[in-house]
Amino acid sequence: MTALEKVGSPPTRLEGTALHDWDYLVQEDRAHRLIYTDPAIFEAEMTRIFGGTWTYLAHESEIPKPNDFITRRMGLRPLIIVRDAERRLRALYNRCTHRGTTLCRWDKGNTKSFQCPYHGWNFLNSGKLRGVPWPEGYAGDMHDPKFNLAQVPRVESYRGFIFGTLSMDALPLPGHLGPIAEIIDQWLDRNPGGKVVVCEANRFRYKGNWKLAYDNSCDGYHVAYSHRSLLETENRFAGENAKGMAYYRNSPDAQPMYMRYTGHGNHFKDKRPNLEQRPGGLWALESAHPGMEHYEAEFIKRYGHRAFALLDLAGSEPININIFPNLSLLGNHIQVFEPVRVDETNAIWYGTMIVDEDGSLGDDAVTDINALRMRTQEGFPNFGEVDDIANFEQIQRGLMAVEDEWVYMNRGFGIPGRVKTLEDGTITAPATDEAFMREHFKEWKRLMKARANFAIQREP
Ligand code: FES
Ligand SMILES: [Fe+2]
């Protein structure tokens, strides 16, 4: 049993001002520059969007053992994500209940309790206050639950991905994910056993709003232009065998790839139909990182006819799966967007290793596949992300021109038959359309307008 504390709609400087006209700020085919530049809107987003909907917190493989923890943020709220002694996942506020300082200053570790560095209050990893120095100095009952750490009341994991929300109105996580859960399954299940372990990360910080990254996460329109030097590098020696994202070069909308919006701000861009369906079909597309020919030759020598199927497990999966507001699965990576300020964001790329759950691959093969997966980190995550980040920073600069107010997202809008709603309610469009952005902004607006029904909880 835990005590729930209702928290009202958090007041922001926006209350009662004209900025509340969300329908004006986000229209069907355009968004106002203020939603990317106004600190008051950013402040409102940090409660109404981050934590107002299911927000990605961490991956279970980062805290595999009882008493493991990792520190993260939900919006600007500092959290400690723990697997407690009973293996229960919790998201504790990383804020001492005494005077509010950051309780845990480590990035990760394993501990049954956290001791505050300021005055030494000690908390169990269940969030319960265990003891305070010289308790005779307190007249009142220090067992009052108000002194136990605040925690996120709803923490759920979907196949290893841990999400949290403060909203008591949000659907249970599987219902919230809806049709995109199946796409996450496909991303995981291309490896036997369907399990990944998250590795350390490439960490980028850019001077731009967090939404610029999410707006780009399903954008198939920019690739041929923004990533031209990467495409040229990847294909310089490729001859007929087009590498990387070469399918974007000529008429991308004529390719079988597509984008799909699945609800609640989530969408994916599926480039898998562009591949040849054969063992090695995915690997054939992998761009040639230095030294990879040697690895490929070695795989063929070691694994014979199995080599190409194994190499496919190392190849970067050609799909972008975007879970609003802060998570993307793409290639072999997990990307997380962490807002810092209205005009500053962390974009973090975690590599992933596969796990040989049922022993069908064999230890040697798994080690070799995972070594090669790390090499794919040297492709897009290093040489593509910098192109995107340059765009985000330049947009943020452009949006400082106050009189020119609108950002357009009208590609594919108003052309009969181009954007289709399927029977299951998902929306599909050609790969370069901005339908995904128009749709995720409807969800953004819904959350910004919603009367918040938020709660935190504490151990009793
Ligand atoms: S602020 Fe943590 S013990 Fe005082
Ligand atoms: Fe890009």
What DSSP string runs through 141-209? -TT-GGGSPPB-SEEEEETTEEEEE-BSSSPPHHHHHTTHHHHHHHHHHTSTT--EEEEEEEEEEESS-
Residue closest via CA to ligand 1's atom 4 equals 119
**Model confidence at 383: pLDDT above 90:** no
Which pLDDT value is given to residue 5?
85
* Mutational test site, ligand 1, from 101, 105, 130, 134, max ligand atoms within 8 Å of CB: 101
Binning pLDDT at 50, 70 and 90, where does residue 452 land?
A: confident
* Mean pLDDT (whole number) for 84-88: 96
Is 104's C-beta closer than 6 angstroms to any atom of ligand 1? no
For ligand 1, say whether the CB of 119 is within 6 Å of any of its atoms: yes
Checking if the pLDDT of 168 tops 80, the result is yes
Bridge partners of residue 364, in order along the sequence: none
Stretch 367-387: mean pLDDT: 88
pLDDT of 226 > 80? The answer is yes
In the chain, % of residues over pLDDT 70: 96
Residue of 119, 134, 142, 148 best suited for mutating to test ligand 1, as the one with most atoms within 8 Å of CB: 119
The response to whether residue 87 sits with its C-beta less than 6 Å from ligand 1 reads no
Which ligand is closest to the CA of 213, given by its number? 2
pLDDT at 4: 81
Residue of 114, 118, 123 to mutate, ligand 1, most atoms within 8 A of C-beta: 118
- Measured CA distances, 365 to 95, 354, 357, 368, 455 (Å): 44, 11, 13, 5, 47
Residue with CA at minimum distance from ligand 1 atom 1: 99
Q: CA-CA distance, 407 to 49, in Å (whole number)?
A: 20
Q: What is the pLDDT of residues 282-306, one digit of tens each?
A: 998 887 777 778 888 999 999 998 9
Residue 308 beta carbon below 6 angstroms from any ligand 1 atom: no
Candidates 96, 103, 114, 130: which one to mutate for ligand 1, based on the most atoms within 8 Å of Cβ? 96
From 174-188, 285-299, 386-400, the region with the lowest mean pLDDT: 285-299
For the cut 80, the answer to whether the pLDDT of residue 40 exceeds it is yes
Is the pLDDT higher at 296 or at 130? 130
What is the structure's pLDDT at 12? 53
- Ligand 1 atom closest to the Cα of residue 103 is 2
129 CB under 6 A from ligand 1? no
Task: Assess contact for 376 and 314: CB atoms under 8 A.
Answer: yes
pLDDT at 296: 86
User: Is the pLDDT score of 349 beyond 80?
Assistant: yes
Q: Which ligand is nearest to the CA of 95?
A: 1
**CA 432 vs CA 223, 227, 249, 260, 289: distances in Å:** 9, 15, 12, 11, 27
**Mean of per-residue pLDDT scores for the chain:** 93
Atom of ligand 1 nearest to the CA of 100: 1
Q: Is the pLDDT of residue 129 over 50?
A: yes
Count Cβ atoms below 10 Å from residue 233 Cβ, excluding itself: 16
Q: Which residue owns the Cα nearest ligand 1 atom 3?
A: 119
Average pLDDT over residues 83-91: 97
> With bands split at pLDDT 50, 70 and 90, how would you rate the model's confidence at 121?
very high
As a whole number, mean pLDDT of residues 71-76 equals 98
Q: Which of 7-11, 130-134, 426-430 has the lowest mean pLDDT?
A: 7-11
Residue 322 pLDDT exceeds 70: yes
Counting from 1 in the atom list of ligand 1, the atom nearest the Cα of 117 is 2
Does 243 or 458 have the greater pLDDT score?
458
Q: What pLDDT does residue 20 have? A: 75
Q: Summarize pLDDT for 54-69 with one digit per residue, the tens.
A: 999 999 999 999 999 9
At residue 11 the predicted structure's pLDDT band, cuts being 50, 70 and 90, is: low
Q: Looking at ligand 1, which atom is closest to the CA of residue 119?
A: 3
Confidence category of residue 16, pLDDT binned at 50, 70, 90: very low
Q: Evaluate if residue 330 carries a pLDDT over 70.
A: yes
Please tell me the number of the ligand nearest to residue 386's CA. Answer: 2
Lowest pLDDT segment from 354-358, 379-383, 398-402: 379-383
Q: How many helices (H) and strands (E) does the chain have?
A: 14, 24
User: What is the number of the ligand closest to the CA of 218?
Assistant: 2
Q: How far is the CA of 102 from the centre of ligand 1 (A)?
A: 9
